[in-house]
Each structure stands twice: as structure tokens, then as C-alpha cells.
Amino acid sequence: MSDSTDEDAPECRACGDPVTEGDGRRIQSIVKNGEAIHYQFCSPACLESGERT
């Protein structure tokens, strides 16, 4: 398992920006159809807006 963060930075679920570590990153974990899904957000504000939609 590698720890690479730059090469495949996840997109913010709300605004689509690449989510990098140490930048107010937030992760929302939900369970859908028995699978754990982790949504990534670049900031607390995006986390809130992502939850509303």
C-alpha cells in the first residue's frame, strides 16, 4: 500500500477541486448498498454544501 497523495488526489465532492492533505480536508463516510463510500471535501464549507445536495 502506498501513501501517494499527489498523483491521484481525489476531487472535492462539492466543487471538484483536487483535495490535498492539510488543507481543511474533510471526509464523509457513508454506507451505500452495503459498501462504505468516502466522499472527500476540500473544506468544511464544501462538506456542508455537499451534504445538502
Q: Rule CB under 5 A: which residues touch Zn ion?
A: 12, 14-15, 42, 46
Kindly state the smallest distance separating residue 34's Cβ from Zn ion, in Å: 28
Kindly state the smallest distance separating residue 16's Cβ from Zn ion, in Å: 7
- Sign of the Cα pseudo-torsion (12, 16, 21, 22, in order): negative
Residue pair 11/40 in contact (Cβ under 8 Å)? The answer is yes
Which residue, 39 or 46, is less far from Zn ion as judged by CB? 46
What is the four-CA torsion angle of 44, 48, 51, 53, rounded to 10 degrees? -130
Kindly state the smallest distance separating residue 46's Cβ from Zn ion, in Å: 3
